[in-house]
Amino acid sequence: MHAFARTAAFGAPGGTPLGQLVAHAHVEHWLALDSGADARYIGQPQVIASLHEAADHSIRHRDFTVGRGGLQALNAFAMAFSLAGDHRAARECFQATQGRVTESPWYYLDGDDPAKAFSKRRSAAGR
């Protein structure tokens, strides 16, 4: 899963929303782990570095636009950085969404109300 996500993301031109595949892979990995192990996994320095590398190639790249797929990419990175405890990076992503939430990936945290999960994490990130 991680290899596929990286190959797809970094095989595409800079500014691609496909960078979100890296964020989704880390979130999916986090979901598969038991409580405690999940936080240890996603908070690892190499996971956070992987998220930053993908964000630099994707949502932080000068050619990125929020157009098709971009809003979901911002939300995916916001959630992944939030789960990883990187509040500065999460806050940057939340700000870029301009308060626009997508159902995915937030339904992982609250299937009944993804917007509530988004708001809770956004507040925790200091936004």
Per-residue pLDDT tens for 16-31? 999 999 999 999 999 9
Give me the percent of the chain exceeding a pLDDT of 70: 99
Q: Looking at the predicted structure, is the pLDDT value of residue 116 above 80?
A: yes
How far is it, in rounded angstroms, from Cα 58 to Cα 69?
A: 11
The answer to whether residues 17 and 72 touch, using CB atoms and an 8 Å cutoff, is yes
Instruction: Please give the Cα distance from 80 to 115 (Å, whole number).
Output: 16
In the predicted model, what is the mean pLDDT of the chain? 96
Closest CA to 94 of 123, 116, 67: 123
pTM (two decimals): 0.96
pLDDT at 127 > cutoff 70: no
Instruction: Give Cβ neighbours of residue 37 (< 8 Å, ≥ 6 apart).
Output: none
Question: Cβ-count burial of 87 within 10 angstroms (0-12 exposed, 13-18 middle, 19+ buried)?
Answer: middle
Question: Please, are residues 97 and 74 in contact by the beta-carbon 8 Å criterion?
Answer: yes
Instruction: pLDDT band for 61, please (50, 70, 90 cuts).
Output: very high
CA R_g for the chain: 13
Average of per-residue pLDDT across 45-56 = 98
pLDDT of residue 67: 85
The pLDDT value given to residue 8: 97
Exposure string for 92-110, b = 16+ CB within 10 A, e = fewer: bbbebbeeebbeebbebbe
